[in-house]
Amino acid sequence: MANAMENGRDDLMNNVNQVMSETQSLLDSMKSATTEKTAQLRDSLQRNLEATRQKLSALQSTAMEKGTAYARATDDYVRESPWTAVAVAAGVGVLVGLLLSTSMRDD
């Protein structure tokens, strides 16, 4: 799963970089380009922007689905083992308290 997210992130970054590169090309060509060439660059830019939007939407959907699944799994675990969850939370609280009290003494 993590590998798929990294690949998705890399693909997105590549799309964003490509859009930025084409945007720069469009801006550079506006000074001396013919109308036909400018139209081609705009079409290419628009296609890449749409691909990037779709990729962002897909990544957002995947992140939402995974977040919901993790939240459900956590909720199910707490409902099945409430005392274990309370003990873990208390242990984390004690550790945080110890760390804070130690850092307060050092100041």
Domain-located, residue 92 = no
Residue 100 located in a structural domain: no
Q: Output the pLDDT for position 69.
A: 93
104 in a domain, yes or no? no
H/E stretch holding 40 reads: helix 35-80
Residue 73 lies in a domain: yes
Is residue 98, in this structure, part of any structural domain at all?
A: no
52 SS3 class: helix
CA dist., res. 45 & res. 42, Å (int): 5
**Which pair of structure tokens corresponds to residue 35?**
């109308």
pLDDT, averaged per 10 consecutive residues of the chain (107 residues), comes to: 67 78 71 70 77 82 89 90 91 93 75
Residue 59 lies in a domain: yes
Model pLDDT, residue 56? 79
Best CA proximity match to 2, nearest among 62, 60, 55: 62
What is the number of structural domains in the chain? 1
CA distance 9 to 78: 32
Looking at residue 93, what is its pLDDT? 93
Which domain covers residue 25, as residue numbers? 2-80
Q: What is the C-alpha end-to-end distance of the chain, expressed in Å?
A: 43
